[in-house]
Chain A
Amino acid sequence: MTDSDVKLVYQRPAGFDARTTHYCPGCTHGVAHRLVAEVLEEMGELHNTIGVAPVGCAVFAYNYFSFDFVEAAHGRAPAMATGIKRTLPSKTVFTYQGDGDMASIGMGEIVAAAARGELITAIFINNTNYGMTGGQMAPTTLPGQVTTSSPKGRDVERQGYPIKLAEMLATLDGAAYIARRSLHDARSIRQAKKAIRTAFEAQRQGLGFTMVELLSICPTNWGLNVADSRKWLADHMLPFYPVGDFKVNPAINAAGGN
């Protein structure tokens, strides 16, 4: 076999650094990172982008991407991204946040950024628990779901109901594109990539705030293997958190992504 016979079908995206992951085996953070990196590369935005990392499992997200990054305080990524975007309006700016970060401690910042129509994109990882601190109840934890801080299952009478963030942010006039996708199988992942592309395109078009919620698995804290985790997501999360587009500004030029 000669070199010319070799067809490269899969490689590290240009938006990634050559680095070993710290994420647990089977975790979908790596998939989400890769989708963001691929989209930015395909849009030619890699060297025009500044990312904002959260507190949580993705706290070291900046270690994996090859472009400029900053690290926010817990929940404050949308505020920090606002400061960057308002100062450097020609740059593509995005936050990458988990469910505790965005839907609990950072609820004020994300709602205000969306309402202002801040020209940033938020990538929201919903895996129904606080991963980094070892699997506590998150605002997205499903009713009855066992976590280390809801050991008998989330009792909605005492611990309240999960927050459907995509549906909630979609009610705000400042939002241009709000979507939920899932990362539990290949088909869903392809759809997730398209949504991420649409969000970044809408940001580039200056249409308003954009957010893509990505339903994700957490095999380590769920106590399931990867295959069972994917099945758990499909069986339990998808009925509660339906995928779809919850807000689409009609001016979005979808030619690039969809």
Chain B
Amino acid sequence: MAKELIKGNIAVAETALRVGLVSYFGYPITPQTELLEHLSARMPDLGRAFVQAESELGAINMVYGAACTGHRTMTSSSSPGISLMMEGISYISGTELPAVIVNVVRGGPGLGNIAPSQGDYNQMVHGGGHGEYHLLVLAPASVQEAVELTALAFDLAEKYRTIVAIMMDGSLGQMMEPAELPPFVPLREEVPDWAVKAIPGKPRVVLSSINIDPPAQERFNLRNELKWQKIRRDEVRFREYYLEDAEYVVVGYGTVGRIALSAVRTAREKGIKVGLLRPITLKPFPVEAVERLVPQAKAFLVTEANNGMMLDDIRGLVKGLKPVEFYGRMGGVLPYPDEILDAIEALVKGPLTLEGDPRDRWLAVLEQKIGVGV
């Protein structure tokens, strides 16, 4: 298939449809809306289900029902809408159902704005809904990668009977880039045994997130944790750039990872031995990839479009053995390559320290830069 120039949101929608999406339920919210619009036009023509729900709460619960049938289903939204979906995310997880959720993250908190952000990292990676559950979280850095991860998301969701979240950001959703989309696959006829199907002669199926007996709930949760252990082992994905001889390690994901790559390349041209680790699965996190870099690294630089959410995870993995610094922008502002380059050069210039909190040093830099008094 040839490459075509396509917008991120539409590429994800079209890919989902081509890999066998049977039903879609969503609600308009910028900067995600083109995804919903594209499917509103395409799904009915193919005889598949499309519902513009009354709210994100409605949408995620429609996904919950559709997921019970064992057919491929998806919703998409942006940050405030994802907050509303947290109820359903917990229930779907508590019923062990496969579903795909796309979060085209925008600036927050609150209504915030419609600009690109990574402020939902903690909500997606470390929970947000109630109870113990895990989402698989994929973070593409280009439209092409969003296409590939969308196809992968459905496979992983079914393989592990789990929600797979694709965490994009407003710029990736809105940006047009050349990308090659997968070919159409025919819809699968067979339905898994665990799904409700109401077919005479098949055993009765009841799907519920209730375990009214606490020991039964604990056994369910344990089984889920063991499943997650397997996912942690088998499904970690990341990309490494210029890391073989790197003395300085930049860690960034999604669009910010891509911006960081520009900064890393410029720094390399200046003779700085710096490389980039770009996590693709934010959950499961590339733990070993980070740990492997600790001995060779003089220092780490974490960069995000938030207030340092992945920073906490990286600090946990580096365990104070090497300095970890942070550079981020917040509220719908992305860091520019030259800002990340400045942060890399600050590492090289030193002095490096294991003392104090990198967040304090970053706040001092940012306050100087954008100048607000408390």
Contact = CB atoms under 8 A, between A and B. Distances in A.
Contacts of A84: 65-66, 68-69, 196
Interface in B201-243: 201, 204-210
A82 B65 contact: yes
Contacts of B196: 50, 68-70, 84
A33 interface: no
A70 B207 contact: yes
Contacts of B59: 79
Interface string B62-99: 11111111010100000000000001100100010000
B62 to A, nearest CB: 4
Contacts of A71: 95, 206-210
B198 A73 contact: no
Indicate the size class of the contact surface on chain A.
35 or more
A95 B309 CA distance: 41
Contacts of B67: 83
B206 A68 contact: yes
Nearest to A52: B65
Contacts of B69: 83-84, 87-88
B198 A86 contact: no
Contact of A72 (B22, B61, B71): B61
A83 B25 contact: yes
Interface stretch (B28-36, B49-57, B247-255, B366-374): B49-57
Given A73-B61, A73-B88, A86 B49 contact: yes
Nearest to A53: B208
A174 to B, nearest CB: 12
B200 interface: yes
A68 B208 CA distance: 11
Given A80-B61, A82-B65, A112-B53, A49 B198 contact: yes
Contact of B62 (A50, A83, A91): A83
B204 A68 contact: yes
A58 to B, nearest CB: 12
B303 to A, nearest CB: 38
A81 B360 CA distance: 50
Interface in A50-94: 50, 52-53, 59-60, 62, 66-73, 76, 79-88, 91-92
Which residue of A66, A69, A87 has the most chain B CB atoms within 10 A of its CB atom? A87
A76 B57 contact: yes
Nearest to B92: A73
A52 B68 CA distance: 11
A151 interface: no
A108 B54 contact: yes
Contacts of A69: 196, 204-208
A41 interface: no
A72 B61 CA distance: 8
A67 B204 contact: yes
B77 to A, nearest CB: 15
A116 interface: yes
A66 to B, nearest CB: 6
A73 B87 contact: yes
Given A59-B210, A69-B205, A76-B64, 8 more contacts: A60-B210, A70-B68, A71-B206, A76-B87, A79-B54, A83-B63, A87-B73, A108-B57
Nearest to B195: A68
Interface string B303-324: 0000000000000000000000
A83 B68 contact: yes
Contact of A87 (B23, B87, B208): B23
B185 interface: no
13 contacts: A59-B210, A68-B197, A68-B204, A73-B87, A76-B88, A79-B57, A79-B62, A80-B61, A80-B65, A83-B23, A83-B62, A83-B68, A108-B54
A73 B91 contact: yes
Contact of B197 (A62, A86, A88): A88
A87 B210 contact: no
Contacts of A87: 22-23, 49, 65-66, 69, 71, 73
Interface in B326-374: none
Q: Which 8 residue pairs spanning A and B have beta carbons closest together? A: A83-B65, A112-B54, A79-B61, A71-B208, A80-B65, A83-B66, A86-B49, A83-B62
A47 interface: yes
A85 B67 CA distance: 12
A149 interface: no
Contacts of A245: none
Contacts of B71: 87
B61 A116 contact: no
A155 interface: no
Contacts of B57: 76, 79, 108-109
Nearest to A88: B69
A133 B51 CA distance: 33
Given A68-B206, A87-B49, A47 B73 contact: no
A49 B66 CA distance: 15
Contacts of B111: none
